[in-house]
Amino acid sequence: MSLRRRERRVIAAAGAAALVAVGLNLAFSAVAAHRRRKRRELPGFTAQVNLSAADIKRLADRVVSKSKETYDAVAAVPLDKVSFSNVIAPLAELDAQQFPLVQACVLPRMVSPSDDVRRASAEAEKRLDSHFQQCRQREDVYRVIKAFTQKGERIGLEATRFVQCMVREFERNGAKLTQSKKTEMEKLKSHIDDLSLKYIQSLNDSTKFLLLNEEDLAGMPLEFLKELENTNGKWKVLLTSYHVTPILEHCKVGSTRKLIAVAYGQKGGKENIAILEKLVQLRHRLARLLGYPNYADYAIEPRMPRTSRKVLEFLEEMSEQLNGLANRELSVLKDLKMEEEGDAQFSVEDLLYYMKRAEELKVDLDIGEIKQFFPVDLVISGILKMFQDLFALRFEEMKDAETWHDTVRLFSVWDASSSDLLGYFFLDIFSREGKYAHTCVVALQNRCLCSNGTRKVPVAVLLSQCPKEFDGNSALLRFPEVVRIFHEFSHVVHHISNRATFSRFSGLQLEGDFAEIPSLLLENWCYENISLKMMSGFHQDITKSITSEACQSLKRRRDIFAGLKLKQEILLCLVDQIIHTGENVNIDDLIKDLHPKVMLGIPLLEGNSPASCFPRIAIGYDAVCYSYIWSEVFAADLFASKFKDDLLNQHAGLRFRNKVLAPGGSKNPLDIISDYLGREPSLQAFIQSRTRNSL
């Protein structure tokens, strides 16, 4: 199983733990041997931090033991005696009680300064993951839950959705299969995981290279050439994205760009093509075993579109709507090539180079200079102020709180009007050895109502790897890092704004497409004058914020050639959908046929084997590559309709918080957004926003 999948399932989303961890009010108290601060009781916050390696092992043991005990108790309920109180309530209660315990076990793997603690946490995560996987396949518990659904007991709408989610989760994991079919399912999953890993390992092979003369690399920055190894007077270019992308963007020699593009496109070789085709066959077998017509319908069923047909219709409409914009962009690139090379014949290997050339000509922006306006401390304080102002929140730092490292900060979150406590968040943003290397958000505790009437409040952790202070000055962030932190903090606010009763419907446990929509919506604030100035200031004089011209250039840089870039993405998404809906599709032939149709007549590069280097289709995004574009479209419509003309309108922000963020997963996400907009979402806002700034 991929690391990304495991993290999303057990850490950030924790759907496995949250849905099937069963037991009642499991209390845990530990004195951590390496505490840095005295523990302070925080209302509504029961999650543990700073556990030792031994603490983690003991807690994981108790979680597994109590889960199994209560699971057995639910399975033992006679089918004619099932009720909400003896079947569903125990599941919901342990969802509430065990989620923070599970997170206390698995978070240290990402944040602890101790090697021993990180190792114990990783082992606990593996054990818990395996345990919950077994729980989700228990036919005896599934049978009892199904009996409850057939009894017809009247329950609330959120409870009904909770039961529906449980039934679907069990069925998708084979709970209603015979034992022999369960065994077959496990073999298929294991085979799929092995092949996916083999495919990725081939792509990660850094030993493949080309030797090029200096004249072959005309136009490449001196800094890039200095990093290359010189072998007998030739430059050694590795077939990795770190070398290939800069060459495709900067090399003036068309034959070199073509050579590099073909070599990189063949990197996985015939072996990877065979692996991918085998993977698709195995996925279809798995889906049919579970009662689905194909793998795409299996993968998409729990997501917003629900069916592969809906996704294909969306992608085809999107591609058609982009034709006008993409054609205008391609004409600009062809003109540039004619000027520079005297040849308007345009090929795939020319796209990145001439997009970069056009950007240099049309966008007045010095990325190195822009960085001077984003000191870490100023960016963070600006983000916090902006979210407080927009969503009517109040953040209070808790200076004496216990954390796992001295650089970690804890904040409580309050409703600015009612002064109700909404939750807490940790900021762990500075780099250190052994820490998780990427920017992300982890749920430490979900909001929920417990059986004794008490409420747990949401707790989130924002992780990043920002540089530390240098010579007493705040370190500087690159603009993409600013956007990433802003995006992830949007997830923090989404999580803390959740008002659902069931832990299962937390803001970080949403359907994949819906989870990204609020954060992609709020990313727009990173490209608007008023908001960007709030989180910027020249590092030597922070009273001097970024200029309006620079703000406009950043937005234009984001959107330039959006049509062609999206067309490339749509091509990938179409291939992903078609191979996962059809049987025995020749992937290379499919791409050769689709490429000129989607890419406005540009043929696939002769000799390329794209199927050998499609990592997202091989692992992590199989049959759901469409998701990011889908979320972007919804986000663009929300921004244009509700926020564009008044970015800091607190009334609009509060309404969004209450109508879209608060329900979490307790309602159908399409219904949530449609009710908020007062209509069905539309592609037009997205197309218009990208067209306005593209050229």
The answer to whether 488 is a known catalytic residue is yes
What is the C-alpha separation between 360 and 365, in angstroms, rounded? 8
Work out the burial of residue 240: count CB atoms within 10 Å of its CB; fewer than 13 is exposed, 13-18 middle, 19 or more buried: middle
For residue 467, give the nearest of 420, 430, 514, 507 by alpha carbon.
430
Strand bridging mode 455-456 / 448-449? antiparallel
**Hey, how many other C-beta atoms are within 10 angstroms of the C-beta on 678?**
7
What is the C-alpha separation between 92 and 144, in angstroms, rounded? 15
For residue 464, give the nearest of 379, 385, 568, 588 by alpha carbon.
379
What is the C-alpha separation between 584 and 240, in angstroms, rounded? 30
DSSP 8-state symbol, 605:
P
For residue 189, give the nearest of 287, 97, 316 by alpha carbon.
287
Q: Which of 488, 516, 523, 528 is catalytic?
A: 488
For residue 671, give the nearest of 300, 307, 309, 306 by alpha carbon.
306
For residue 346, give the nearest of 356, 360, 359, 331 by alpha carbon.
331
DSSP 8-state symbol, 86:
I
Tokens at residue 254, please? 């068309």
For residue 325, give the nearest of 573, 689, 629 by alpha carbon.
689
For residue 253, give the nearest of 212, 294, 193 by alpha carbon.
212
**C-alpha of 315 from chain center:** 20
What is the C-alpha separation between 365 and 294, in angstroms, rounded? 47
What is the C-alpha separation between 546 and 562, in angstroms, rounded? 24
Beta partners for residue 411, in sequence order: 397, 425
Q: Which whole-number Å values give the CA distances from 529 to 442, 526, 534, 542, in the listed order?
A: 30, 8, 9, 16
Residue with tokens 């291939």: 575
Half-sphere exposure of 297 (CA within 13 A, CB side): 13
Tokens at residue 27, please? 């209390």
Radius of gyration of the CA atoms of the chain, in A: 26
Is residue 347 within 8 Å of 261, Cβ to Cβ? no
For residue 49, give the nearest of 410, 397, 399, 395 by alpha carbon.
410
Residue with tokens 């609330």: 156
Tokens at residue 110, please? 């990402």
Q: Where are the alpha helices (DSSP H) in 25-88?
A: 53-75
In sequence order, the 6+-apart residues with CB closer than 8 A to the CB of 664 are 498, 499, 500, 505, 506, 507, 509, 510
Is residue 508 within 8 Å of 443, Cβ to Cβ? yes
Tokens at residue 423, please? 């939750």
Is residue 623 within 8 Å of 299, Cβ to Cβ? yes
Per-residue HEC secondary structure of 484-504 comes to HHHHHHHHHHHHHCCCCCCHH
Is residue 485 within 8 Å of 429, Cβ to Cβ? yes
Q: Amino acid identity of 470?
A: F
**Hey, how many other C-beta atoms are within 10 angstroms of the C-beta on 252?**
14
Q: Which whole-number Å values give the CA distances from 196 to 280, 465, 616, 621, in the listed order?
A: 11, 28, 10, 11
Active-site amino acid positions: 488
